[in-house]
Structure 1
Amino acid sequence: MNELLTVAMPKGRIFEEAAELLRKAGYGLPQEFDDSRKLIVDAPEAGMRFILAKPMDVPTYVEHGVADVGVAGKDTMIEEERDVYEVLDLKISECYLAVAGLPGYVEKGIAPKVASKYPNLATQYFKEQGEQVEVIKLNGSIELAPLVGLADRIVDIVSTGRTLKENGLVELETIVPITSRLIVNPVSYRVKDKLIDELVERLAKVIEEDEQ
Structure 2
Amino acid sequence: DGDITRYRYDNPHSDLPCATEDATGSRKTMTWSRYGQLLSFTDCSGYVTRYDHDRFGQMTAVHREEGLSQYRAYDSRGQLIAVKDTQGHETRYEYNIAGDLTAVIAPDGSRNGTQYDAWGKAVRTTQGGLTRSMEYDAAGRVIRLTSENGSHTTFRYDVLDRLIQETGFDGRTQRYHHDLTGKLIRSEDEGLVTHWHYDEADRLTHRTVKGETAERWQYDERGWLTDISHISE
TM-score by length of 2: 0.21
Q: TM-score, normalised by structure 1?
A: 0.22
Indicate the structure (1 or 2) with the bigger Cα radius of gyration. 2
Q: Which has more helix, going by share of residues? A: 1
Higher relative CO (Cα under 8 Å, sequence separation at least 6) belongs to 1
**Greater strand content:** 2
